[in-house]
Chains A and B, each alone.
Chain A
């Protein structure tokens, strides 16, 4: 075993950035990790003696375990009497028989050996030595025998190997220090040196005088007389290896003899989580986590949480990946199960694990969380959040190459062959910065995301379910659409009735939307505040949201703007957007109204054709809807005065046809200078729309998005997410796009009417644009934004609209 240890200084990167405070034994990874993992007492005031005590106890336990479990049936024969030969014969079918256990162990051992022979071949000089292999084998066997639930799974050996390695490194450090400060490790009494680890004392009288001379004329540069004079680090090292301290030799913290015991303890702690949330064993478990209410194995849940976090942080990348059908567990399985062990070289991995272990592993307790909202259990701690954040930062590292590929296979290839030459510190820094976000995300990962995997729970998520690249996404969304679709329908109808009884000024159509965005957007509009990084993730369940939104809006009708509302079946998601926000009619009455309009709209589209048409219409808006439902990055900060945006003339697919009405309303809205981003509404995610919109409006929406962003910025929101991503709600572009997602079968609407109204809306918008310079001060903001690029893009969008509406009118 002679890996040259990394020089002392370099071994301890200054991880002072760790918020948990200075690492007490940063230079002795083995000790530090044992503390972090919970094996050794972690309070800063615990003395070396305390450490020794705890170490000794854990070693005793391991020794007893070893004796008990790795027993040879033959040995027993000599001593004890095997009571019943019928039970205890080698061919016995009885699982309890000694022989049965023996055979099971043999089987386990065979599996372990298979993996061990292939462990870290590049560091073979350490890992492939028989001593090390023997230790690894015993540790793994013992652990697996103690936890028959998990058995042995490939990957466990890779978790164990670095642990053993760091212990080994510590010992090498110790021996180096010993060489330099030899005096402190050996008691020199009467001229004899009593080396602590000598099994025999060599009383070689003849050598005595030479030795003494050596001592005196020692060329060792360091000649220190008392322990106290040593550097604190060296002092600690000496103390940790003192054989005469508490518990004697068993308590020597840095001990070669007990390497196996310590490694086993660390491994056990890592796998069990020592009471915290992140228990690596869970990642190997095929069965759902205890407290989880989704019926998925923890690894699947965690992968979903990763994607959830990614969608918060970078929704365009997320949606891109989802569209391509790259399920998170394809790569996350390997990443999480061996804690990134396969993606990085051993030395780098140690740095990463330093960081990961530095974070606390205690579970977060969300008071008041009822089980139904149980979050991802296994990542539910700071440590878990950092792990998730690190994984996401890895994905972000590959962002450009992932976005460039249009092929799920090559995406996966890139993800699974993580580049070797990455700036690790940068990655870590990014991960840390994302950690807080991750904590939030994990706490609020809606269970609902997981249903997407519904029915495909098997470990082998077969290719069959991977949507083909381009159009499959619509299909998958279609699947999801189904369940919500009918509900939506019902609700829509229900609302329709209510509405009719109520007195909506204008027929409102509700556009069922898969994408959550809508209600969210509405809210956003209203709140016009901070840029909220937690965009609603459009998860499929927006039911609650929708309801809420609807309620909100319910009353206000007077717009007449038919803003295509995305009926949200889907939950928008984060708790961040509380309904209160939605209601906030703060100063944006207009907005509200608009929103309400939108929400109320509900006209189920009849037939696919309609859908398609509609989608065509919604075009831009839908473009982005194409994005997955999940990501919705709508962050629209409601603009203060956005006349252009405001008129999102919605499809008035309204039999009553308030076209005129809406136009009028529209004007009024403009005047109100409410900062609404009506456009946003349009994100409808109809899957069909998507198809259309995507192809047609890709460019448009992008541009629109840009303008949208520009506007948003103007209004002071800093949220600029997804700049340029098509996600940007199509709404933008749809200024004037009437997204009529009509769902109401009962309503008779004519497409031509639709087209008509669209045209009208377009006209209105155009006029607005032209009027732009004339607008009042309240519109100044918009003005700035609108002019120039925004203007052009909006015009372009309008053109598109025009085309579409022509199409429709022909029908």
Chain B
């Protein structure tokens, strides 16, 4: 029952002022065990805020981040799953599943979390899951102007992960859920 929050592309303060209040009210400290951020926060204040939600924070470097010492990609293990984080602007074409799968194989992870497209997607393919949590603040991207704020919460339990995606559509929070199951236990 490990809860992992995945979000990114906030672009605070350049393209957005803050997270939507409805999202902020949901992100109560104490419930979430890990936070994965795909990058482009951009300022330290956002980093601090995320730290209050959960002290275990993993960030990948986005092209607009002011703190340049974040790693470009990062891997971590939670329970039976290996997770990988990257921003995604390095993977061309942006948002292309096959290219992302290549990155996933490269990092050797079960779940790959990337962003940059500001669009929520979740793909499953034979080796694992590729998740894009979209933009948590709904900031515009170079390819898309009308963006709904969204983020992802993963509930990792044994060999099963349930992905809850939270989207703010027309002022209402919509939640959706996707189940993924891993076939074999990973060797640690």
Interface on A for B, CB 8 Å cutoff?
A: 72-74, 77, 85-86, 89-93, 102-103
Please tell me if the beta carbons of A103 and B31 are within 8 angstroms of each other in the complex.
yes
Please tell me if the beta carbons of A93 and B174 are within 8 angstroms of each other in the complex.
no
Number of interface residues of B (CB under 8 A): 19
Secondary structure call for the B interface? strand
Bound together, the chains give a CA A275 to CA B31 distance in angstroms of: 40
Question: Which residues of B, 151-177, contact A by the 8 Å Cβ criterion?
Answer: 153, 155, 157, 162, 164, 166, 173-177
Min CB distance, B33 to chain A, in Å? 11
Which residue of A86, A89, A93 has the most chain B CB atoms within 10 A of its CB atom? A89
Bound together, the chains give a CA A102 to CA B177 distance in angstroms of: 18
Q: Which of A72, A77, A90 is in CB contact (< 8 Å) with B153?
A: A90
Q: Which of A74, A77, A90 is in CB contact (< 8 Å) with B31?
A: A90
Contacts A74-B1, A90-B31, A91-B166 known; A85 to B177 CB distance under 8 Å?
A: yes
Please tell me if the beta carbons of B26 and A91 are within 8 angstroms of each other in the complex.
yes
Q: Which of B164, B173, B174, B176 is in CB contact (< 8 Å) with A90?
A: B164
Q: Which residues of A contact B103 (CB under 8 A)?
A: none
Min CB distance, A110 to chain B, in Å? 10
Give the A-B contact count at a CB cut-off of 8 A.
35
Please tell me if the beta carbons of A91 and B31 are within 8 angstroms of each other in the complex.
yes
Min CB distance, A374 to chain B, in Å? 43
Q: Which residues of A contact B31 (CB under 8 A)?
A: 90-91, 103
Q: Which residues of A contact B175 (CB under 8 A)?
A: 85-86, 89
Question: Which residues of B, 70-122, contact A by the 8 Å Cβ criterion?
Answer: none
Does B43 lie at the interface of the complex (its beta carbon under 8 Å from any beta carbon of A)? Answer: no
A selection of 7 A-B contacts at a CB cut-off of 8 Å is A73-B1, A85-B176, A89-B164, A90-B155, A90-B164, A103-B30, A103-B31
Please tell me if the beta carbons of B162 and A77 are within 8 angstroms of each other in the complex.
yes
Bound together, the chains give a CA A120 to CA B27 distance in angstroms of: 39
Q: Which residues of A contact B30 (CB under 8 A)?
A: 103
Contacts A74-B1, A85-B164 known; A91 to B27 CB distance under 8 Å?
A: yes
Question: Which residues of B, 5-34, contact A by the 8 Å Cβ criterion?
Answer: 25-28, 30-31
Bound together, the chains give a CA A74 to CA B175 distance in angstroms of: 18
Interface on B for A, CB 8 Å cutoff?
A: 1, 3, 25-28, 30-31, 153, 155, 157, 162, 164, 166, 173-177
Min CB distance, A100 to chain B, in Å? 10
Bound together, the chains give a CA A93 to CA B28 distance in angstroms of: 9
Q: Which residues of A contact B155 (CB under 8 A)?
A: 90
Q: Which residue of A lies closest to B173 (CB)?
A: A86
Q: Which residues of B contact A74 (CB under 8 A)?
A: 1, 157
Bound together, the chains give a CA A6 to CA B25 distance in angstroms of: 57
Q: Which residue of B lies closest to A78 (CB)?
A: B160
Bound together, the chains give a CA A102 to CA B31 distance in angstroms of: 10
Min CB distance, B147 to chain A, in Å? 21
Q: Which residues of B contact A73 (CB under 8 A)?
A: 1
Q: Which residues of A contact B157 (CB under 8 A)?
A: 74
Min CB distance, B46 to chain A, in Å? 19
Since A86-B174, A102-B1 are in contact, a sample of 9 more A-B pairs with Cβ atoms closer than 8 Å, ordered by chain A residue number, is: A73-B1, A85-B177, A86-B173, A86-B175, A90-B153, A90-B155, A91-B28, A91-B31, A93-B25
Min CB distance, A81 to chain B, in Å? 11
Contacts A74-B1, A85-B164, A103-B31 known; A91 to B153 CB distance under 8 Å?
A: yes
Please tell me if the beta carbons of A89 and B166 are within 8 angstroms of each other in the complex.
yes
Contacts A74-B157, A103-B31 known; A90 to B3 CB distance under 8 Å?
A: yes
Q: Which residues of A contact B176 (CB under 8 A)?
A: 85
In order of increasing CB-CB distance, the 10 nearest A-B pairs are: A91-B26, A85-B175, A86-B175, A89-B175, A89-B164, A85-B177, A74-B157, A90-B3, A90-B153, A103-B31
Q: Which residues of A contact B174 (CB under 8 A)?
A: 86
Q: Which residue of A lies closest to B155 (CB)?
A: A90
Q: Which residues of B contact A85 (CB under 8 A)?
A: 164, 175-177
Q: Which residue of A lies closest to B177 (CB)?
A: A85
Bound together, the chains give a CA A77 to CA B173 distance in angstroms of: 22
Bound together, the chains give a CA A93 to CA B173 distance in angstroms of: 12
Q: Which residue of A lies closest to B23 (CB)?
A: A91
Which residue of B30, B31, B174, B176 has the most chain A CB atoms within 10 A of its CB atom? B31
Bound together, the chains give a CA A91 to CA B166 distance in angstroms of: 10
Q: Which residues of A contact B1 (CB under 8 A)?
A: 72-74, 102
Q: Which residues of B contact A91 (CB under 8 A)?
A: 26-28, 31, 153, 164, 166
Q: Which residues of A contact B28 (CB under 8 A)?
A: 91
Bound together, the chains give a CA A103 to CA B30 distance in angstroms of: 9
Q: Which residues of A contact B27 (CB under 8 A)?
A: 91
Q: Which residues of A contact B166 (CB under 8 A)?
A: 89, 91
Bound together, the chains give a CA A102 to CA B176 distance in angstroms of: 20
Bound together, the chains give a CA A484 to CA B34 distance in angstroms of: 64
Q: Which residues of A contact B3 (CB under 8 A)?
A: 90
Min CB distance, A71 to chain B, in Å? 13
Bound together, the chains give a CA A93 to CA B3 distance in angstroms of: 16
Contacts A74-B1, A77-B162, A103-B31 known; A89 to B153 CB distance under 8 Å?
A: yes
Contacts A74-B1, A74-B157, A103-B31 known; A89 to B177 CB distance under 8 Å?
A: yes
Q: Which residues of B contact A77 (CB under 8 A)?
A: 162
Bound together, the chains give a CA A92 to CA B22 distance in angstroms of: 11
Q: Which residue of B lies closest to A102 (CB)?
A: B1
Bound together, the chains give a CA A73 to CA B166 distance in angstroms of: 19
Bound together, the chains give a CA A46 to CA B27 distance in angstroms of: 58
Q: Which of B26, B153, B162 is in CB contact (< 8 Å) with A93?
A: B26
Q: Which residues of B contact A89 (CB under 8 A)?
A: 153, 164, 166, 175, 177
Bound together, the chains give a CA A85 to CA B174 distance in angstroms of: 9
Q: Which residue of A lies closest to B3 (CB)?
A: A90
Min CB distance, A103 to chain B, in Å? 6
Min CB distance, A215 to chain B, in Å? 51
Min CB distance, A163 to chain B, in Å? 31
Which residue of A74, A85, A90, A103 has the most chain B CB atoms within 10 A of its CB atom? A90
Q: Which residue of B lies closest to A74 (CB)?
A: B157
Q: Which residues of B contact A92 (CB under 8 A)?
A: 26
Bound together, the chains give a CA A190 to CA B171 distance in angstroms of: 80
Q: Which residues of B contact A93 (CB under 8 A)?
A: 25-26
Min CB distance, A12 to chain B, in Å? 47
Min CB distance, B35 to chain A, in Å? 13
Bound together, the chains give a CA A746 to CA B176 distance in angstroms of: 84
Bound together, the chains give a CA A188 to CA B62 distance in angstroms of: 78
Bound together, the chains give a CA A103 to CA B31 distance in angstroms of: 7
Bound together, the chains give a CA A92 to CA B27 distance in angstroms of: 10
Bound together, the chains give a CA A73 to CA B153 distance in angstroms of: 16
Bound together, the chains give a CA A77 to CA B153 distance in angstroms of: 16
